[in-house]
Amino acid sequence: MTTVAIIGAGPGLGLATARRFGREGFSVALISRTQAHVDSLASTLGAEGVTARGYAANVRDAQALRQALDTAVVDLGPIEVLQYSPVPAREFMKPVLETTAEDLAGPVEQSVYGPAVAVQYVLPGLQQLGRGTVLFINGASAVTPNGNVAGTSVAFAGESAYGQMLHDALAPEGIHVAQLIIPRGIGGGEPDHEPEALAERIFTLHRDRGRFRTVVGEESA
């Protein structure tokens, strides 16, 4: 049995994705900042027959993130799918003219350093399996900079560039790297933006592979 590791797991998209992969026989590692939070999600999944464990780590703490992933592999088995989807902090979303160099440190730590730490941890295991998927989940500012949320726009752009380079470099090894852009946020009454629909799209990206970027709501997606 292999594992899907969901970094930034929450009760909406994270839980829906965990359920979707759990139906396919994956074990689920839920990673977020608060142990009680991920334990509650794991308990919910366990009651539904999904093998799941929770691990506390702040993605801005490289050592804690590596330790969470390491423990997950010991507990649940090798990671075949990595989903990186932590929600940006409110303080990352200042207008551009109010954003200082210091204000950019947190967003970059979360959306550039964090993904690099996670990917570099799981990559040897994916290469040993000879397959696997890395999934980056972002908002629209990853592709269209928004001056009202400058920190997130800058950091998501870096995450996008990193993901695209990984996609190109790892495709020959049978490892798929994909990005899902979710404009206008999750939910809001749009059927294709609801957690369950997004989870199905995420699973399809893993299963069907293909190009790097998919934008929810685009006819070509």
In this predicted structure, the answer to whether residue 140 has a pLDDT above a threshold of 80 is yes
Average pLDDT of the residues of the chain: 95
In this structure, the strands spanning 27-32 and 175-181 are unpaired
Cβ-contact 152, 181 below 8 angstroms: no
pLDDT tens by residue, 5-37: 999 999 999 999 999 999 999 999 999 999 999
Choose which CATH entry (3.40.50.2000, 3.40.50.2300, 3.40.50.2020, 3.40.50.720) describes domain 3-215: 3.40.50.720
Gyration radius of the chain's alpha carbons? 16
Per-residue pLDDT, 217: 86
Looking at residue 184, its pLDDT comes to 84
Which residues have C-beta within 8 Å of that of residue 162, sequence separation ≥ 6? 112, 115, 116
- Top pLDDT among 188 and 216 is at 216
Residue 197 to residue 216: CA distance in whole angstroms: 10
| Local confidence band at 186 (pLDDT 50, 70, 90 cut-offs) | confident
Contact 3, 26 (CB under 8 A): yes
Residue 27 has what pLDDT?
98
Domain boundaries, the chain: 3-215
Pairwise pLDDT comparison (193 vs 188), residue with the higher score: 193
Residue range 84-116, pLDDT digits in tens: 999 988 889 899 999 999 999 999 999 999 999
Collect all residues with Cβ–Cβ distance below 8 Å to 213 and sequence separation of at least 6: 143, 160, 164, 178, 179, 181
Distances from the Cα of 216 to the Cαs of 53, 73, 100, 221, in angstroms?
Answer: 29, 31, 32, 7
In this predicted structure, what is the pLDDT of residue 189?
Answer: 77
What pLDDT digit, counting tens, does each position of 76-89 carry?
Answer: 999 999 999 999 88
The confidence band for 221, taking pLDDT boundaries of 50, 70 and 90, is: very low
Tell me the residue length of the chain.
221
pLDDT for 115: 98
Per-residue model confidence (pLDDT) at position 185 = 84
Question: Are 170 and 156 contacting, i.e. CB atoms less than 8 angstroms apart?
Answer: no
Distances (CA, A) of 149 to 63, 140, 143, 166: 28, 11, 13, 26
